[in-house]
């Protein structure tokens, strides 16, 4: 028997991967910087991404699905590229923030697309998921804006 919530579950599982990508990316970024305030910011963002993934996983379970538990292939490739690039160019604050902002651009796009898909599904069981995605989208937007401001400040100092 197929799950009538399969499409909603697929959308949420995709966001779980992005949340896991964000968590891993912020943790690695915290390891790459020396600035204690920036390190703390990245650790806090990693924790928030972990919490977002847990909320999404709980909703997938509520809908009768199996929640995703890993990062995405594209996120793994991006982190590999960042690590390779860092070996060549060094891990200065602005470079790390540039890569974090690129990751946040991707997360923001994924959340906006997920929201659109959930609305189009017109599944009455998707309402909780849509509310959750809307709330998390606001958090992703805040992360993006904070990272951009930090990157702009680092750029102004250099």
pTM tops 0.75: yes
**Own/partner pairs, 130-136, CB within 8 angstroms, 24+ separation:** 132/55, 132/56, 132/59, 133/11, 133/12, 133/15, 136/15, 136/52, 136/55, 136/56, 136/111
Confidence of residue 61 (pLDDT cuts 50, 70, 90): very high
Specify the pLDDT at position 91: 64
The domain defined by 6-157 folds into Ferritin (1.20.1260)
Top pLDDT among 51 and 100 is at: 51
The predicted structure's pLDDT at residue 1: 46
| 76-96 tens-digit pLDDT | 554 455 554 554 555 688 888
Q: What percent of the residues of the chain are helix, what percent strand, and what percent coil, each to the nearest 5?
A: 85, 0, 15
Kindly report which listed range (31-40, 60-69, 81-90, 141-150) carries the lowest average pLDDT score: 81-90
């Amino acid at each position: 028997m197929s799950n009538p919530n399969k499409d909603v579950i697929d959308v949420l599982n995709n966001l779980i991967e992005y949340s896991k990508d964000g968590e891993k990316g912020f943790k690695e970024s915290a390891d790459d910087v020396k600035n204690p305030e920036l390190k703390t910011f990245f650790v806090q963002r990693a924790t928030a991404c972990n919490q977002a993934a847990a909320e999404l996983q709980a909703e997938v379970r509520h809908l009768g699905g199996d929640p995703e538990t890993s990062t995405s292939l594209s996120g793994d490739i991006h982190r590999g590229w960042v690590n390779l690039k860092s070996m060549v160019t060094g891990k200065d604050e602005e470079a790390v923030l540039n890569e974090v902002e690129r990751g946040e651009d991707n997360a923001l796009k994924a959340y906006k697309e997920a929201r659109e898909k959930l609305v189009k599904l017109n599944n009455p069981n998707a309402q909780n998921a849509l509310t959750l995605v809307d709330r998390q989208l606001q958090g992703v937007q805040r992360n993006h804006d904070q990272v951009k401001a930090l990157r702009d400040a680092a750029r102004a100092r250099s």
